[in-house]
Structure 1
Amino acid sequence: MLHELVLRNGRIHTMDGNGTVVSSVSIEGGRFAALGGDVQPRGPDARVIDLQGRTVIPGLIDNHIHFLRTGLLPGHDMRLLETSFSIDEALSVIRDRAGKVPDGELLSAIGGIHPGQFAERRYPTMGELNDAAPRHPVYLSISNWGPGATNVLAKSLLEDLGVPVGDDGTVAKGQDTVAAWEALSQRHSYEDTLRQTASQMDHALSMGLTNLFDMGGTIPAGGWLDPATGYNAILDLMREGRVPMRMRVYLPVLDKDASLPDLMSRLDYTFNEFGNDVLRIAGIGEWLIPNKLQREQPLPELYADSVRAVAERGWVYKQHLISLAEQREHLRVWEEVNRSVPIADLHWSMDHCYGIDAETIDRAIDLGVGISSHSSPYLEGTLKPPGNPPFRMILDSGIQVGGGSDGARISVMNPWVMFYYAVTGRNHAGELINPDQTVTREEILQIWTRPQGWFCKEERNMGGIAVGKFGDLAVLSADYFDEAAVSDDQIRKITSVMTIVGGRVVHNSGELGDHALEALPAC
């Protein structure tokens, strides 16, 4: 029987580049089948949902996020702290989370937060954390380098594990924070990883995210995802029918040896672009060689050999590039390889690209590569080099551009916070750090939806609302497009009241009625 869903009485922004807004759509067999002013169900078993005038957008696609390693975060992650902007709001999140977690279990926020985001410009005190969660250890930290804050139970837990903690509950920046991560990680079981990964997917769906481009994890301590075993959790959840959103996986490579053992094993024994509509291998990235080597000037010869091998095998490739010097040097190698192995049809991209200039963008356009421009400086960015993403320049250049977060360790997972940064140029503390490079609300939403399929060779499947594309969308808690009703600051508080993937309701806050959640079909 064909699965049919009809959504009516909404303001559905298709993001087709022409500003088209319709009031109804239908989704059949997981893809948009019709859109217009009065779409009617075709079958007697169609599910019909009244949108009650809500604003609807295509499902959001983050084209650069380190999502799977969030399953390794110790304890019960409190991702909602990303959008807490006062101590009272933070304590409310902690109090609520404590009420849903068994007594004695760790509550954590490791990455995605910064004490400067709170109006008081500090972490909650040990006493405040004690009062909010008297029966749970609580540990907060800036990424995996700190500093961090604890309540008395977490202080006791960490000290019992050999980690120094100050009298006020502070975990010092640097080695003490690394030690805290390593100690807590030893207590984190595979069942915890499954639970945490499932919980993170639920959270992503509540923000309107329906597709994540996972970039692995190659940084020690809080950033490591074992390339041999790190993908087991998402595969096991997939087998159990517990993956309610789409994921595109990019495989990092860390070769130091000129024989390229890591890369060649990937290319020889991994099926390129293998998977299904839910979970698929998309390409190589965001590394071909370790971070220390990829910053060398000039790049080592083994990098050129790696680039040539990826091009010859026809793989998509996304490369982490921060400084302008890195961008120019990597493009030099790509241009050299392109002379013998054309790369324009391979959908390669330069990722991050803070401080990129017009000349470098023009070189990328000539090669046929794109730019994945990310809002991650929101959390710790400043006006200092390497700078911030020049959104305005990049968009005006006409290059293929997509958007992402680089979450969820050095950056947040929440896409609406990323949109706030792109629209205002302001960081977590409200400081203007990206002047003259802001974009409109519609422009940043556009690059998080319509063009994203290009970066994994799935333009016909994903990005925007159009007949034949994946039936993925988000019904918003507020009208993002109405600047009078939703201020720039309030953008950060937007959520999805209902998220749909492949015509299935996978998140429902209850505001549109009691619509049961549905699992995605087994593939």
Structure 2
Amino acid sequence: MSAAAAGALTGRATPTPGALMADTHGLSRRGLIVGGGTVAAAAALVGTPAHANGRHDDDDEELLLVNGRIHTMDDRDSVVSAVRIAGGRFTAVGRDAERGSSANKIDLRGRTVVPGLIESHSHFISLANRPGYHVAEWELAKNVAEVLAFLKARRKTVPPGGMITAMGGGTPRMFAEQRLPTRAEIDAVVPDRPVFLYQSGFGPARVNTLGKQFFESITDLPVTVAEDGTIAGGNPNMANRALYHLRIRQTFADKQRSALDAMAFTASVGLTTILDQTLVATANGTLNPAALDPQPTDGLPTLNHFRMYDAWLSLHAQGRAFIRLQLNFLHNQGFIAELGGLDKQLPELRERLKNQFPFFGDDMLRTGGIGEWAAPFAAPTNANGYAVWLESQRLVAKARWRNENAQGGSATSTAAIEQVVAAYEQMDAEFGIKDLRWGLQHADYATADQLARLKKLNCGVSVSGFRWLGGLPRADGLPAGPLFKDILASGIPMGMHEDGIHIAPHNPWFALHYATTGLNVLGQQINPGQQITRQQALRAYTRGNAWYLNREDDLGSIERGKLADLVVLDKDYFTVSDAAMRDIRPILTVVDGKVVHDTGALSGRR
């Protein structure tokens, strides 16, 4: 792209290639967190000292919360009025917490408090790598006017020439008008910054006038933009090509900023711990490392799966990460004929199992297991593909790693689930896996027999809460799934997830609303007879997910000795209407004993 063409971005001085992703400076940590904006929170934390790698100074980090309705989610489902925190852990709960004073005391004024929510299936690292100045909040919008309001607010924090992006989490189905904003509508609220809105995982996209000028100025791998600002998906996928041009302009500092933004948005919706299920890597993996760099055909779910953690790792090393992250490792190598026999297949998985450790790290960042799959799912009718998939299960079992399987859309198939259950039984017979806590993701239509067999193997399930977005009532009147009530009744350890960032939003309150009402985004009943109570749904997102992450001793409830993660809500989750419950937002989020999100709603917190 020529200098003159690049100058078309703003009509002013030509920006450097990094200007599109340039950092914001000069904001204080307190001012940003109180404001509640993700951009603000991220920028404010840049360069701010914080506790490093879970270490605390017990003398000056005590926090006392009083006068609340604190739902501990302990074995008795106790509700208390006070909790005391020191050194990153709960040190007293209930009446014991109220004994003695504290220099850092918060009056909750009767607000409802719950443990920090845990996400057991997310593609969160993708959010943490979004190019530009990302507007994650657009997934919370109910209509086009609210999308525009989020874009307008974001513009205030973006320097001239900076690209405003909104990707993945928001789709037209969520908005009342069932469409994205028009080019003219975006221009009206953001006339002086380029804007790029990208739907779901593979486009299409919509830009404003400056965005149109930017993409049309690119001569190397040009992007076609329609007059109304639409960048088409399809083949060739121009939206993916546009995404590529933003990704190759990202600097490492840009990626750090995006990771901080992602953490801040996560805290703002009440999630305090994430199990990242990584991304679909190029199928040939390490056989062609160059193919892992950004490609013009890549959609949002594709990143270099070796380097995509670098920004987060650097922030964690500096003590600046403030959301707990657990990393699974997905492997996308199916049958590759040129490798030869079965003993030569799965080279990347074999190297992973030899050279990395499961559950290795600290309280804020650690590895997990293999998931959401060890090799692409293939039925026995696909002889080579099935042989490789089954061999991947065997390799994981032999190496004594935790293993998960998710079959995407076919997870709604009882036959696909049966294949997984039978393979797990075979692995247990060969190697013994009961102590490894293998998992099944989605599990929408698991039968009572399948659940009983998984439970016997000490397996757990993480149940999808995202069917609210795309699901429609079935013609036969049966539930669209998951069978929340039946799965819970089986007694198998059950957590919940939203599977956010690409196919669904990150916000857990949408999933909680669906599990308890069965209503889709259009207000239609799509899961009749499978609703669970609000207490049961919240338990799945706290205690259930803590078990699924192998962290029930430290997370999931507000109890003495556990890690101090909690969320203060703007509404009472247990008593508000169904519609209002879906709109719940935290006013205060605490992770590791630190306030990481604060709207200022509690008096004295500004």
Q: Which amino acid is the alignment partner of residue 233 of structure 1?
A: A
Equivalents in 2 of 1:45, 1:84: separation in Å? 39
Q: Does 1:464 align with 2:464?
A: no
Report matched runs for 1:65-214 at 5 Å.
65-161=122-218, 162-174=222-234, 175-214=237-276
Report matched runs for 1:8-87 at 5 Å.
8-37=66-95, 39-40=97-98, 46-87=103-144
Q: Deviations over 1:401-460 (max 9, x none)?
A: 011111111110111122122222223333333232222222211100012222232221
- 8 Å contact kept, 2:512–2:537: yes
Q: Residue in 2 aligned with 1:519?
A: none
Range 456-465 or range 378-387, more displaced: 378-387
Cα deviation for residue 87 of structure 1 reads: 1.8
Equivalents in 1 of 2:303, 2:445: separation in Å? 29
Q: Which amino acid is the alignment partner of residue 247 of structure 2?
A: S
Q: Residue in 1 aligned with 2:500?
A: 407
Q: Which amino acid is the alignment partner of residue 163 of structure 1?
A: V
Report matched runs for 1:119-518 at 5 Å.
119-161=176-218, 162-174=222-234, 175-218=237-280, 220-256=298-334, 258=342, 259=344, 260-290=346-376, 293=378, 300-322=386-408, 323=410, 324=413, 325-383=415-473, 387-483=480-576, 487-515=577-605
Cα deviation for residue 263 of structure 1 reads: 1.5
Q: Using a 3 Å threshold, how does the CA distance of structure 1 residues 383 and 355 change in structure 2: closer, same or farther?
A: farther
Q: Which amino acid is the alignment partner of residue 154 of structure 1?
A: G
Q: Using a 3 Å threshold, how does the CA distance of structure 1 residues 339 and 471 change in structure 2: closer, same or farther?
A: same
Q: Using a 3 Å threshold, how does the CA distance of structure 1 residues 176 and 432 change in structure 2: closer, same or farther?
A: farther
Q: Which amino acid is the alignment partner of residue 314 of structure 2?
A: D
- 8 Å contact kept, 1:147–1:173: yes
5+ residue gaps, structure 2: 1-56, 282-297, 337-341
- In the superposition, the TM-score normalised over structure 2's length comes to 0.80
Cα deviation for residue 391 of structure 1 reads: 1.3
Q: Deviations over 1:193-245 (max 9, x none)?
A: 11111101011111111101111111542112323211111110111211012
- 8 Å contact kept, 2:151–2:190: yes
- 8 Å contact kept, 1:82–1:412: yes
Q: Residue in 1 aligned with 2:63?
A: 5
Going by fraction, where is strand more abundant, 1 or 2?
Answer: 1
| Helix, strand or coil at the partner of 2:519 | coil
Equivalents in 1 of 2:255, 2:311: separation in Å? 7
Cα deviation for residue 38 of structure 1 reads: 5.9
| Helix, strand or coil at the partner of 1:350 | strand
Number of corresponding residues: 511
Equivalents in 2 of 1:438, 1:313: separation in Å? 39
5+ residue gaps, structure 1: 517-523
Equivalents in 1 of 2:398, 2:64: separation in Å? 45
Equivalents in 2 of 1:501, 1:97: separation in Å? 25
Q: Using a 3 Å threshold, how does the CA distance of structure 1 residues 388 and 145 change in structure 2: closer, same or farther?
A: farther
Equivalents in 2 of 1:478, 1:335: separation in Å? 45
Q: Deviations over 1:29-56 (max 9, x none)?
A: 22212111462365x7652221111110
Q: Using a 3 Å threshold, how does the CA distance of structure 1 residues 140 and 492 change in structure 2: closer, same or farther?
A: farther
Identity among equivalent pairs (%): 37
Rg (Cα) greater in structure: 2
Q: Which amino acid is the alignment partner of residue 428 of structure 2?
A: N
| Helix, strand or coil at the partner of 1:223 | coil
| Helix, strand or coil at the partner of 1:149 | strand
| Helix, strand or coil at the partner of 2:98 | coil
- 8 Å contact kept, 2:63–2:102: no
Q: Which amino acid is the alignment partner of residue 311 of structure 2?
A: A
- 8 Å contact kept, 1:144–1:181: no
- 8 Å contact kept, 1:321–1:350: no
Equivalents in 2 of 1:154, 1:429: separation in Å? 31
Equivalents in 1 of 2:102, 2:569: separation in Å? 26
Cα deviation for residue 333 of structure 1 reads: 1.5
Cα deviation for residue 167 of structure 1 reads: 1.6
Equivalents in 2 of 1:45, 1:423: separation in Å? 39
Equivalents in 2 of 1:496, 1:282: separation in Å? 28
Equivalents in 2 of 1:224, 1:206: separation in Å? 26
Equivalents in 2 of 1:206, 1:420: separation in Å? 18
Q: Which amino acid is the alignment partner of residue 395 of structure 1?
A: L
- 8 Å contact kept, 1:83–1:492: no
Q: Using a 3 Å threshold, how does the CA distance of structure 1 residues 156 and 426 change in structure 2: closer, same or farther?
A: farther
- 8 Å contact kept, 2:202–2:299: no
Q: Deviations over 1:81-100 (max 9, x none)?
A: 11111222221111111122
RMSD across aligned positions (CA): 2.2
Q: Using a 3 Å threshold, how does the CA distance of structure 1 residues 10 and 514 change in structure 2: closer, same or farther?
A: same
Cα deviation for residue 275 of structure 1 reads: 0.2
Q: Which amino acid is the alignment partner of residue 427 of structure 1?
A: N
- In the superposition, the TM-score normalised over structure 1's length comes to 0.92
Equivalents in 2 of 1:387, 1:176: separation in Å? 34
Cα deviation for residue 515 of structure 1 reads: 4.5
- 8 Å contact kept, 2:406–2:441: yes
